[in-house]
Amino acid sequence: MIGGLLVIALLARLGVWQLDRAHYKQALAARIASRESMPPQALGPQGLDFARSEWRPVVARGQWAPQWTVYLQNRQYRGVSGFWVLTPLRLQSSDTWVMVLRGWAAPDVHAPMLVPPVPTPSGTVDVHGRLAPAPSQWLSFQKDPPGAVVRQNVQLGQFADYHHIRLLPYVVQQVGTARDGLVRDWPAPALGMQTNYGYAFQWFAMSVTCIGLLVFFTLRTLRRRRQGAQGARA
């Protein structure tokens, strides 16, 4: 019985832990929504405190380096596999750069692996976006060469070392309707709250099932003992 009670307590604790994770992510979603509603902040060479400014609107002024544009392949938009286009921006009057996630580009229907041309303005530009973490790393069985244009992943530190530049450790996720043919219908950050609620339900259901089994076997054992005692007296 003691072992059964310990199992029940463990399952219930796992359910509570998953609920705590879901509540944390709810608070995180509210914090993201609050930051997204803030007025834009200028992104200068000194950078910003990412922990305090993640998902906040920013404006970065500088010059594009189109020769270093990177295309991340197999990125989905409405069920279509295309490219995420990233171009580094040199912040004005500095040697500091920031990687800009410019948008999603559709593949050529006749040559899906051929990168589409993306017009990039010259001179000083103002890029409107929001501060975001670097693109997540996809599982790949082949390591991308440091200077690859079309790739599965991009690591900002490796990119900076290869090009010998000072690159901020986050990206600007560009918004707006720049005339470059890119789609900027960015999805909300995937926090996975429903997954936590689903796991919590499973753990609590298993705990309730164990309670039912413990009660059933305990009552059956007591009934057999009672019947055995009555038979011995007879």
Instruction: Give the residue carrying structure tokens 């359910």.
Output: 15
Pairwise pLDDT comparison (24 vs 56), residue with the higher score: 56
Q: What's the CA gap between 87 and 100, in Å, rounded? A: 5
The answer to whether 207 touches 8, Cβ cutoff 8 Å, is: yes
Residue ranges of domains in the chain: 2-24+193-233, 56-174
pLDDT (0 to 100) of residue 64: 97
Residue whose pair of structure tokens reads 């720049």 in the numeric block: 178
User: How high is the mean pLDDT of the chain?
Assistant: 86
Q: pLDDT tens-digit profile of 149-189?
A: 999 999 999 999 999 999 999 999 999 888 888 999 987 76
Per-residue pLDDT at 19: 77
- Residue 62 in this model has a pLDDT that exceeds 90: yes
- What percentage of the chain carries pLDDT values higher than 70? 86
**0.95 cut: is pTM over it?**
no
b/e per residue 164-190 (b: at least 16 CB within 10 A): eeebbebbbbbeeebebebebebeeee
CB count, 10 Å around CB of 44?
Answer: 16
Cα separation of 214 and 13, whole Å?
18
The arithmetic mean of pLDDT across residues 74-98, rounded, is: 94
Q: Which residue has the tokens 């990412």?
A: 50
As to burial, measured by CB atoms within 10 angstroms (0-12 exposed, 13-18 middle, 19+ buried), residue 148 is middle
User: 175-229, pLDDT tens digit by residue?
Assistant: 988 888 899 998 776 667 678 778 878 888 888 888 888 788 778 877 777 776 6
